[in-house]
Amino acid sequence: MYYNYGYGYGGGGWYTLWIILMVGCFVFAAWAQISVTSNFKKYSRVMTKRGLTGAQAAQAVLRANGVTGVQFTRISGNLTDHFNPRTNVIGLSGSVYDVSSVAAVGVAAHEAGHAVQYAKGYVPIRLRNAIIPLCNFGSSLAWPMLLIGLVMSSTYVMGIGVAMYALATLFQLVTLPVEINASRRALKALEQEGLLMADELPMARKTLFAAAMTYVAALATSLVQLLRLVMIYLSNGGGRRRD
C-alpha cells in the first residue's frame, strides 16, 4: 500500500517552500528567545530611580486600574512569571519579585496587566481561557489522528487530525493580542503613574517587545506546521469531490 505524505501535491515545490518557511521560523524563534533573554539580563542591571521592586510596581499598576483582591507569590525559576486567573495570584520569579531593576518592573507590570484584563472583562483573554482545554486536547491528538488516517487511507480521520491542530494554532492566534495588550496596559500605567522615569520607559518597552516576539514566533511556527498538515491531507485526496 502506498501513502503519499504530501511530496507530490503540485510537485515538490510546496515542500521546498515549507522547508524554507520552517527554517525561517526556527531562526526567528531562536532570535526572539535570545533577544528576550539578553534584554532582560541587560536591563536587570539598570536599577530604577524610584527604587520600586517588581512586586511593588505590579501592585501600583493594579491600584491605578482599580483592581483589588489579587495576591502575589514568589516562585522559582527565571522568567517564569505569570498570572493565574483561577487563583487570582501573580507569581513573580526571584529576579523580579523583590528586585528594583527596570526589567523586573516591566515584567511584573506585564503580569499585572493580565490581572487587569481579567478584572475588566477583556474578551480575548477570556476566550483564550475558555478554549485552553479544547486546544490542549486537539494539539495532543492531531498528529496521531493524521498518522492513523494515513495508515487507514482515511481522509476523514486525517481531516479530524488537521482540524485538531488548527485548534492549537487558534490558541496561538488568540494569545498574541492578549500578550501585546497586557504589555500596552503595563507601559501605560508605568508612564502615567510615574513608576518609571522617561529614560527608563524605553528600556522596559524593549524588554516587553522582545517577549512579545516569542509569541509571534510561536504563532508563525504553528501556522507553518498547519500548512504542512493541510498539504499532506490534500496530497492524500482530502477535499476532492468523490463521485
Domain membership of residue 148 (yes or no) is yes
Domain membership of residue 242 (yes or no) is no
Per-residue model confidence (pLDDT) at position 178: 95
3-state secondary structure of 103: helix
Domain membership of residue 140 (yes or no) is yes
Cα 212–Cα 126–Cα 113 angle in degrees, nearest 5: 45
- Tens of pLDDT along the chain (243 residues)? 334 444 444 445 777 888 899 999 999 999 999 999 999 999 999 999 999 999 999 999 999 999 999 999 999 988 899 999 999 999 999 999 999 999 999 999 999 999 999 999 999 998 988 888 888 887 788 888 888 888 888 888 888 889 989 988 999 999 999 999 999 999 999 999 999 999 999 999 999 999 999 999 999 999 999 988 888 888 876 655 443
**Which residue from 162, 159, 169 is spatially nearest to 131, judged by alpha carbons?**
169
Backbone φ, ψ for residue 125 (5° rounding) = -75, -30
Domains of the chain: total: 1
Domain membership of residue 17 (yes or no) is yes
Domain membership of residue 224 (yes or no) is yes
**Which residue from 58, 35, 50, 47 is spatially nearest to 106, judged by alpha carbons?**
58
CA distance 30 to 38: 12
Per-residue model confidence (pLDDT) at position 140: 81
How would you label 81-109 residue by residue, b for 16+ Cβ within 10 Å and e otherwise? bebebeeeebbbbebbbebbbbbbbbbbb
Q: Measuring CA to CA, how many Å separate 133 from each of 80, 137, 142, 159?
A: 21, 6, 14, 20
Per-residue model confidence (pLDDT) at position 1: 39
Q: If residue 83 lies in a helix (H) or strand (E), which one and from where to where?
A: strand 82-84
Per-residue model confidence (pLDDT) at position 234: 84
* Residue numbers of the domain that contains 221: 13-235
Q: Which residues are catalytic?
A: 111
Per-residue model confidence (pLDDT) at position 173: 93
Domain membership of residue 208 (yes or no) is yes
Domain membership of residue 165 (yes or no) is yes
CA distance 194 to 12: 57
Cell numbers 510561536: residue: 218
Per-residue model confidence (pLDDT) at position 2: 39
pTM for the complete prediction? 0.85
In terms of Cβ atoms closer than 10 Å to its own Cβ (0-12, 13-18, 19+), residue 16 is: exposed
Q: Measuring CA to CA, how many Å separate 236 from each of 12, 176, 211?
A: 14, 33, 39
Domain membership of residue 194 (yes or no) is yes
